[in-house]
Amino acid sequence: MDYFTRSTIIAPLTRIRRERLLPGGGEVIAKIGQEVAPTLTVARMAGKMNFEIVPACKLLRISPEELSKRLLVRRGDTVKMGARLVDKGGFGRKGLDSPVDGTLYAVVNGRLVFQQTAQYIELRALAKGRVVNRIANRGVVLEINGSRIQAIWDSGKEGFGVIHTTAATADAPFAAAQLEDDVNNRILVTGKITQADVLEQAEQAGVSGLIAGSIAAHLLPVAMAASYPVFVTDGIGEQGMLPQVFQLLQQSEARHVALFNSPPNQSGIRPEIVIPLEAVPGADLPSAGRPLVVGQSVRIVRRPFDNQVGVVVNLRKRAQMTPIGSRAYGADIKLSDGQVVFAPIANLDAII
């Protein structure tokens, strides 16, 4: 009997494919095969669109048909504020001038709709890699060689920078003392976030991002309001960071790291921490989604053994009674302290 389970990729060296997509339709700039740097814009789209509606017919007291005959600009034309839009003709050549800088977007029922000059949203590569596919109007697929850590939560922002581990241990709380080094433009690694004021101090210190094992629930809004990305690898609470993740990030001190957030409205795509490295022959795409096997490293994600890591030593063929009296299919897990415990398959996260 196969047991499929959720998984988390924690790979020191692998080949990574990551979609970089605009939130809406736009222009894809990068080309297939192109080598990209973190700062390179791979696609862009118009940002927040402001519309200005000019009731031309009403102002000029003409019909929509008359307006279409006298309109001096066409859809898509860019105009400057004060530019003549409609020439009514006649004595003194009355007309209508543009009240805004913008693009004539539409003419609807005698009204001129201007899209005001929009700022562009530029989608950067975030990591050194190569474009292996283009997705029309939306973005690209990047291939990157390096370390890959799937996180569980992000604050909605993304970024890149240089890693600096500030915590001494995987469960150390993020404290003001960890900001005493030069942390400007660094992506800091810490065990857990338990205080709001340190998040604010980190902003003032100019950090580029923060990676933590866990964060207290009441601090989620504070993290989301921060100007820098906050990534959480393990969960909500005080559990801290999985030792494997902490060790891998520690070993990556001073390397460049990219924080790819979970795209909104794309269910199941997790935030990822990617540390580009030189390609090594044999590094391949990890195979997530395979059935659980004996010997597989797993993390238990619910009490009473929450956040403990172990190895599957036996897959139970029959449903077992849990301590609360429900029945669940599961596996025997040998924890790092040697204890063997039963955990439902539903509560296991395979570490790949």
Partner 1 sequence: MTTNEMMTDTSAESAPDAAAEQTTAGLSTTPPKSFLIADCGSVNTTVALFDAAADSYRLVARVSVPTTAIEPWSNIHLGIQEAVAQIADITGRILMNQRGDLIRPARISGTGVDAFAAVISAAPPLDTILVGLFEKVSLASARRALNSAYTRELDAFSLADTRSESEQIGSIVRHQPDLIFVAGGANGGAEERLLQLIDTIQIGALALSDVKRPRVLFAGNIAVRERIRTTLGENIHLHVAENVRPSLESENLADAGQIVNELYEALKIKSLPGIQDISEWSGFPLQPTAQALADITTYFAALQNGRVIAVDLGASNVTFVEAAPEKRTRLCVQSDIGMGQPIANILDKKPLADILRWLPSPMEAEQARDFIHNKALYPHTIPVTEPELRLEQAIAREALRDSVTEMHASWENGQATTPLNLLLIGGKTLTAAPRPSQSLLLLLDVLQPTGIFAAAMDVYGVLPALGALAAYEPLAAVQSLEGGALLDLGWVVAPIGKGHPGQPALHIVMESEDSQRLEVEVEYGTIETLPLAAGQSAKVTLRPSRRFDVGFGPGKEKQVTIHGGAVGLVIDARGRPFNLPADDEARQALLRQWLWGVGG
Q: What are phi and psi of 273, to 5 degrees?
A: -110, 120
Of the pair 64, 89, the CB lying nearest partner 1 is at 64
Residue 311 binding partner 1, by CB under 8 A:
no
Select from 28-36, 51-59, 79-87, 242-250 the region that touches partner 1 (CB under 8 A): 51-59
Among 49, 72, 81, 176, binds partner 1 (CB under 8 A): 49
Residue 293 binding partner 1, by CB under 8 A:
no
Of the pair 32, 49, the CB lying nearest partner 1 is at 49
**Tokens found for residue 322:** 């849990």
Region at 141 (left for phi over 0; alpha for psi -120 to 50; beta for the rest) = beta
Alpha-carbon span 78 to 235, nearest angstrom: 49
Q: Among 164, 127, 123, which Cα is nearest to 145's?
A: 127
Residue 268 binding partner 1, by CB under 8 A:
yes
Of the pair 109, 119, the CB lying nearest partner 1 is at 109
Select from 35-43, 65-73, 246-254, 321-329 the region that touches partner 1 (CB under 8 A): 321-329
- Is residue 186 within 8 Å of 165, Cβ to Cβ? no
Among 86, 152, 249, 258, binds partner 1 (CB under 8 A): 152
Of the pair 158, 349, the CB lying nearest partner 1 is at 349
Residue 78 binding partner 1, by CB under 8 A:
no
Secondary structure letter of residue 174 according to DSSP: P
Alpha-carbon span 121 to 350, nearest angstrom: 37
Among 33, 74, 303, 337, binds partner 1 (CB under 8 A): 303
Check the CA dihedral 205-250-219-160 and report its sign: positive
Residue 7 binding partner 1, by CB under 8 A:
yes
Residue 195 binding partner 1, by CB under 8 A:
no
Near partner 1 in 230-249, by CB under 8 A: 235-238
**Tokens found for residue 69:** 């005959």
- Tell me the CA end-to-end span of the chain in Å, nearest whole number: 21
Tally of CB atoms within 10 A around 202: 27
CA dist 140 → 135, 143, 159 (Å): 5, 10, 17
Residue 196 binding partner 1, by CB under 8 A:
no
State the residues that interact with partner 1 by CB under 8 A: 1-7, 24-25, 48-53, 105-106, 108-109, 111, 113, 115, 137, 152-153, 216-218, 220, 235-238, 265, 267-270, 288-289, 301-304, 319, 322-326, 328-329, 343-349
